[in-house]
Amino acid sequence: MDVKRNIKPVMDQLGIDVLRRHQLKPISSICSEEDTFVLAPTSSGKSAIYQIPALLHANQITVVLEPTLALMHDQTRKLRTLGIAAEYMDSAMTKSERTDSLKRFQKGKVNILYITPERFVSESFLCILRGMKLFMLVVDECHCVLDWGGSFRSDYLQIGEAINSLSERPVITALTATASKEDIKQICSLLHMKKPAIFENDLYRKNLIFIKKYADDRKAKLTLLHQYLKKYHTGCSIVYCNTKKAVDAVHELLEKRYPGKVCKCHSNMGAAKRASHELQFLKGEKQIMVATSAFGMGVDMGEVDLVIHFNMSLSVTDYVQQAGRAGRQGQKAHCVLLYSDDDYYIDRVILSSIQDDSAKKRALNRLDEMKDYCDDTAHCQTKMLLRSFGQGQKKRCNRCTNCQKARRGGMGS
């Protein structure tokens, strides 16, 4: 296929004027039918990296595995708006809706199908795929293979075997914004990728300002939450909490201060209600989202200029993924982390439910890394976050909380 000759009409179809260098090489790799791994920062256009090859092979099917329903819905909605035959199947659909979606898929009327890993590895779905022309399997947000596969979503670890069971092997593409070199190696192995072309890009985003603040108790946190919303909330904001109970409580309090402007998202909400809240936020009908990690991963919403973590995240990976929802149009944005001593112990309780010993050890080590990030008052926070993924940054960002303290006190690195 002459990619250069055919790519412009597809770019026009997707509404893309110019492709960046970090997008062109992996697109060419995928079109050459090479397994491809892409590490690139949030907001860098990773979706286009697999969507363009998928549309260039419109006579075949591309299946995309997404970790959250919000991301599946968001991607499908945007592609449909552009007139692209995209479809999703999820547990929130009625039986008749799933049947209709499946019929369109089997009749070849769908070019890009978004599903969860759980549906992909099911034998009933694999039987359908074996009778179809599958060009590519995409594992979006592929860090979840490691972060979630050993704990509460074990089907992530079955993706590689499911791929091997297909009658014809598709191109495997994996993308994430958060993975160390060792993580990349493990993910490629678990997905049974064959001699993958690996593209690692600089994860530094100079438009994000990282702020962290210790709070003695919940009352102090709420005071800080209101202060930072008042100071930095101008467009849309996301407030992340580590438990569903905290989401409900914070949502109730913010609704009193910002009536009619606040929505929420967590896994205990009914599917219809949760989808309604997500859509209200994505359409800009409500400007503040209070959520657990169930919301936001990979969702491309450019108007978010503030992300507040009401609790310490379970890992640096979680934190960077969630903070990365801010400033996706390149505008200056603030990422505020509020933390207390209690957060660490609550997070340990959450992780203690992991059954697999090696996965639990990995998760607890990552939590300790997050605690170190919170406790460190000397080093540049941006440099610390990049170091977690094996990347260096020579200069201090001069804008994070620690850098501001160092400027005033003449210390730190």
Per-domain boundaries in the chain = 3-200, 208-375
Task: Please report the pLDDT score of residue 300 as a whole number.
Answer: 67
Tokens of 127: 């039987």
Q: pLDDT by residue for the chain (413 residues), tens digit each? A: 556 667 899 999 999 988 988 899 999 999 999 999 999 988 788 999 999 999 999 899 999 999 988 788 889 999 999 999 999 998 778 888 888 888 898 888 999 999 999 999 999 999 999 989 899 999 999 999 998 888 889 999 999 999 999 999 999 999 999 999 999 999 999 999 999 999 999 899 999 999 999 999 999 999 999 999 999 999 999 999 999 999 999 999 999 999 999 999 998 888 788 888 988 998 889 999 999 876 766 566 778 999 999 999 999 999 999 999 899 888 999 999 999 999 999 999 999 988 888 889 999 999 999 999 999 999 999 999 999 998 887 789 999 999 999 877 654 44
Equal CATH topology for 3-200 and 208-375: yes
Are the C-beta atoms of 198 and 161 separated by less than 8 Å? no
Tokens of 135: 């060009």
Task: Please report the pLDDT score of residue 4 as a whole number.
Answer: 63
Task: Please report the pLDDT score of residue 274 as a whole number.
Answer: 85
What are the pLDDT digits (tens) for 91-116? 778 888 888 888 898 888 999 999 99
Question: Which stretches within 68-158 are classed as H helix?
Answer: 69-81, 95-106, 117-120, 123-129, 144-147
Give the position of tokens 């009193």.
256
Edge-to-edge, what's the strand order for the sheet holding 134-139? 86-88, 112-115, 61-65, 134-139, 171-176, 36-39, 197-200
Task: Please report the pLDDT score of residue 92 as a whole number.
Answer: 76
CATH number, domain 208-375: 3.40.50.300
CATH number, domain 3-200: 3.40.50.300
Query: pTM of the prediction?
Result: 0.88
